[in-house]
Amino acid sequence: MADISKVDTVMGSGAEPGILRTRNAGPSALLRLLDEWMQSDGDEQRETFEELRRCLDEDRPAGYKLFP
């Protein structure tokens, strides 16, 4: 399992606020990230899932589809 205790928010140097990298993480930065994910666009999530599902199954034989 990855050590998430070393994740922190990157600020300055042209980086977009809220982007995370692995170093000196605080639990509050992770909580903010999770909150942001939970409030994201539902339509976008459905579209993304449909594309992911299609890509995962496109090369599988008919009897071995992940999403029948």
Strand partners, 7: 22
Q: Which two tokens stand for residue 36?
A: 């942001």
As a whole number of angstroms, the distance between CA 29 and CA 55 comes to 32
Model-level pTM? Answer: 0.41
When divided into structural domains, the chain yields a total of: 1
Contact 25, 6 (CB under 8 A): yes
Question: Strand, helix or coil at 20?
Answer: strand
Contact 18, 33 (CB under 8 A): yes
**Res. 9: pLDDT tops 70:** no
* pLDDT for 10: 44
Structural domain for 54, as ranges: 4-64
Q: What is the pLDDT of residues 22-60, one digit of tens each?
A: 566 788 888 888 888 888 788 888 999 999 999 999 999
